[in-house]
Structure 1
């Protein structure tokens, strides 16, 4: 019988956060979950009682992130796995977004995730290790028109976690980036938001993302329950996998764009080396 673990997961009211919480509780693990509306978790709280610790949290509120992280470790003792999951999509061309939309998107998806990880690191160090799982997306390695601000947050958090993983490995803290493709959660149609509309962008490829959200007819290929189970299982892998691609669309799109980027880099090798001082200079 496996040892009981304690997980801290942000955004447990829906999507991957909810699915992971349900699977973990059913398996006998404890979950410390954050949500904006505690009432959304009444059903699971009634079923699992003290196995589910909850706190209200807005990921744009840095002092609150620190307070909740400190409180969770203080009240629960050791937390084995931290899952940075909370976030949402902003769809539309960069020019179409308002300043408020830009700020809120990056505050939630990028700064909020950074501050969560910064807040838990002292606790993980003191307890001798742990695991951080950061939810990214195939859009953290590949791009699509109409997703520029969402990509900005996800490419940013990927660089942050990549670097942090090298900083904290010495403390027995492992970091994993999860890069799902489209999954049949409520993320695409219920959690994504649209920018304001500029008619000129009807002629731009950026309009395809807007039409997809407005029409609501595109069916993602990914099974979110399978994906959630793989995320959970990754905590047992040693060393921690740096990245996990989930979904045929994620693999296909990421492979294509990464291959194109590598080919473009290889073509510039001679040019890159030409800018060095001569050996011995």
Structure 2
């Protein structure tokens, strides 16, 4: 029995960024395999030639660099015009810099912000007018455990992910009255090839005997755990949409669950420890 046979609903149409590899590619393969339509965007469209040959016009492909706002708006418009309706927008394209705070170049910092933060913002803004006109739709924003907690050598990646999570948490409240749901998806460490594609910078010896050096050695030795199954993560994202549930965040992975929970507990404890000083600065009579 195929996925399509098991489904009681009509095929869904998805718009996905960053589909050349990793979660984007896995989502595209799974969705096409069960009979859905996919508008797949990526910087190298030829990477999906095999899927186009197999699935025909159920796969719409376009070249897209999410760091180009004009191109984002053009491609999103073209996808809606070509497919009529898009039910789910998946912001998946990403770029990572693995370097301590002093090691990364200005160009690397700019690229991670342009891709992960501004690129995702532009995709959402481009899609919202059409989703509002439809009166329905879903946005899945792919973030990471690092959107709620932190690891040494990923400060600029965290800056982009914490930023997009704050943006999306606000947007989710703004667009709910239009029948549009938004969920931030937070996968943990997963063998998708993203780690090997991380950009790096020349190592500064001053950081060798710091937590940054410890994490660098763990990655180099293979001791940095990758406990999650990427195909199970892709399927969990699809299952969420099928279920109709619209949680603000979806943690995926044992490390995400444990690390984010520990981080939130520590932040809350520190927050509560400063209650007295917080209230001490309130204008007399206002509390």
Which residue matches 1:51? 58
Question: Given the alignment, which residue of 80, 86, 92 partners 2:87?
Answer: 80
What is the aligned partner in structure 2 of residue 65 from structure 1? 72
Q: 1:187 to 1:140 in 2, by over 3 A?
A: same
**Secondary structure of the corresponding residue to residue 96 of structure 1:** coil
What do residues 55-75 of structure 1 show as CA deviations (whole Å, max 9, x unaligned)? 001111111011100100011
Does residue 1:125 correspond to 2:132, yes or no? yes
Aligned residues: CA RMSD: 1.4
Greater shift after overlay, 230-239 or 35-44? 230-239
The equivalent position to 1:231 in structure 2, one of 212, 237, 240, is 237
Distance (Å, rounded) in 2 between the aligned partners of 1:25 and 1:103? 34
| Alpha-carbon distance, 1:207 to partner | 2.2
Q: Structure 1 residues 280 and 193 mapped into 2: Cα distance closer, same or farther (>3 Å)?
A: closer
Relative distance call for 1:280 and 1:175 in structure 2 (3 A) is closer
Q: Does residue 271 of structure 1 match 2:277?
A: yes
C-alpha separation in 1, matches of 2:172 and 2:164 = 12
CA 1:145/1:277 → structure 2, altered by over 3 Å: closer, same or farther? same
* Alignment partner, residue 4 of structure 1: 11
Cross-structure match for 2:268 = 262
Aligned pair partner of 2:212 in 206, 209, 226: 206
Alignment of 1:115 onto 2:122? yes
**For each residue in 1:161-219, what CA deviation from the matched residue of structure 2 results, as whole angstroms up to 9, or x when unmatched?**
00000110010010000111111211112x21112322211122112343344445645
| TM-score, with length taken from structure 1 | 0.96
> In structure 1, what is the Cα distance between the partners aligned to 2:264 and 2:172?
21
| Total equivalences in the alignment | 280
Going from structure 1 to structure 2, the CA distance change for 1:218 and 1:257 (only over 3 Å counts) comes to closer
Match of 1:38 in 2: 45
Distance 1:80 1:160 in 2: 21
The aligned counterpart of 2:5 is none
Structure 1: gaps spanning 5 or more residues: none
Secondary structure of the structure 1 residue equivalent to 2:172: helix
Rounded Cα–Cα distance in structure 1 between residues aligned with 2:168 and 2:47? 30
Alpha-carbon distance in structure 2 between the residues aligned to 1:220 and 1:239:
28
Q: Runs of 5+ in structure 2 lacking a partner?
A: 1-7
8 Å Cα contact 1:91/1:209 also seen in 2: no
Task: Show the counterpart of 1:157.
Answer: 164
Aligned equivalents of 1:96 and 1:280: distance in 2? 47
TM-score by length of 2: 0.94
Residues 39-70 of structure 1 deviation map (CA, whole Å, 9 limit, x = unaligned):
11111111001011000011111110111001
Q: Distance in 2 between matches of 1:259 and 1:44?
A: 44
Q: Distance in 2 between matches of 1:45 and 1:142?
A: 38
Deviation at 1:251, TM superposition (A): 0.8
